[in-house]
Amino acid sequence: MSIPFDVLAEPTRRRILDLLLERPRLVGELTDHLGLSQPGTSKHLRVLREAGLVRVRRDAQRRWYELRPEPLAEVDAWLAPYRRLWEERLDALERHLDALPDAPGSNRKDES
């Protein structure tokens, strides 16, 4: 079984997840959006299914592909320290910009 990081490294698979985030879709609809052949789309869906990122729901002859968000929790947990890093840097930038004097000719203080 593939881990989510390996699977998400492929841009087409990320695009499939983006499409499935909106709503469940049939393989033909995904194929149309991706501009791939049906077998090409099916290969990507198989990898996503084996990684647990999507599930298939059968409805008579049709197969609906749906996003399974639970495995993405691992990715989210891994990204958390990086998210904090960027938040800290953006907060520092905001403090720096707030400390700068107003630009010459600016009437921001006079506008209130």
60: left (phi over 0), alpha (psi -120 to 50) or beta: left
Q: Answer whether 0.75 is exceeded by the pTM.
A: no
Say how far apart CA 12 and CA 93 lie, in whole Å: 35
Is the separation of the CB atoms in 13 and 41 below 8 Å? no
| Sign of the Cα pseudo-torsion (20, 26, 32, 34, in order) | positive
Per-residue pLDDT of the chain (112 residues; tens, 9 = 90+): 456 788 899 999 999 999 999 999 999 999 999 999 999 999 999 999 999 999 999 988 999 999 998 888 888 888 888 888 888 888 888 898 889 887 565 455 555 4
Q: How far apart are CA 52 and CA 87, in angstroms?
A: 30
